[in-house]
Amino acid sequence: MEGENNMGKLSMMVINFMTNQCGWGLQLVDGGNLGRDGSIREQQIKFKATHPLNLIAPHLMIELRQVGYVEINGANTNGIFDKLDGWLKQKWSASQIQADPQYCDVKFSTSSFKSRGSVEFRDQGYIEVNGLHDAQDVKSALDDYYIPQGCTHYTQGFLEKEPYCDLKYRTPGNFYYRSGSTNNLGKRTTELAHFMGNRGWKLMLCNGGQRHRALTGLLTGLRANALRATVS
């Protein structure tokens, strides 16, 4: 599908590395479509280092750019730049390139950000979930919630060589409502937040995009897991 990408899945890899291995706390995930036709997707992830004096704790922002760059802004606290350098090279075959100090402190180039071809019609409706690698119990809970509503597990097409999310549902025709600028994405998001809240998860962030009428919610669990659910 034109415009669909795996940045959500890769963002969760960065989040798990920074929180589980480096001990930093996730503060914010934000993204948007840029360019004349909204075809360029950018993702921003902000972390805070653990510190007894939170008011002076250092911050770090990592931006994933679909054109093939990872840009980092912030202080090199406890050698975090070298840790990221090693991780990005190992996981995404990234290489550090010259950074313009007016735009970022450290910059990497990678070919790991992939976009789909013209395979699917998004108007049919989908629900995509990322971050299930350490929260498998959530998959069964979502199955119990969405399948009775007529949703089915998405079957990967012949031309799709790799998954772009951990779990994907195809929604029935009446699941989403659109009439001009009016839609029911807010209602569906509130329903999901209520359902997950009763199971110990908390909604941290909602992020909307007009190009595909998508709304993304970032959920975190009591066990410090992270789940990113996208409805579009």
Q: Say what the pLDDT of residue 116 is.
A: 45
State the pTM of this model: 0.54
Euclidean distance between CA atoms 128 and 170, whole angstroms: 9
Q: Between β-strands 182-183 and 178-179, what pairing exists: parallel, antiparallel or unpaired?
A: antiparallel
Structure token digits, residue 151: 């949703």
Q: Say what the pLDDT of residue 121 is.
A: 27
Q: Say what the pLDDT of residue 211 is.
A: 43
Same domain (yes/no): 126, 222: yes
Same domain (yes/no): 49, 72: yes
Same domain (yes/no): 99, 143: no
Q: Say what the pLDDT of residue 90 is.
A: 94
Domain termination residue (choose one: 109, 143, 171): 109
Is residue 115 assigned to a domain? no
Same domain (yes/no): 101, 131: no
Same domain (yes/no): 128, 50: no
Residues in the chain predicted with pLDDT less than 70, given as ranges, are: 1-6, 8-9, 33-41, 51-57, 114-124, 134, 161-162, 181, 205-232
Same domain (yes/no): 87, 159: no
Per-residue pLDDT tens digits for 134-153: 677 788 888 999 999 999 99
Is residue 203 assigned to a domain? yes
Euclidean distance between CA atoms 196 and 198, whole angstroms: 5
Q: Say what the pLDDT of residue 16 is.
A: 78
Residue for token digits 């789940």? Answer: 227
Is residue 153 assigned to a domain? yes
Q: Say what the pLDDT of residue 86 is.
A: 96
Same domain (yes/no): 132, 105: no
Is residue 61 assigned to a domain? yes
Domain termination residue (choose one: 109, 138, 169): 109
Same domain (yes/no): 69, 142: no
Same domain (yes/no): 51, 127: no
Is residue 211 assigned to a domain? yes
Is residue 63 assigned to a domain? yes
Is residue 19 assigned to a domain? yes
For 117, residues 6+ apart whose C-beta sits below 8 A from its C-beta are 2, 159
Total domains present in the chain: 2
Domain encompassing residue 192: 122-231
Same domain (yes/no): 96, 126: no
Q: Say what the pLDDT of residue 232 is.
A: 43
Is residue 156 assigned to a domain? yes
Domain termination residue (choose one: 109, 138, 165): 109
Per-residue pLDDT tens digits for 93-121: 999 999 888 888 999 999 887 654 322 22
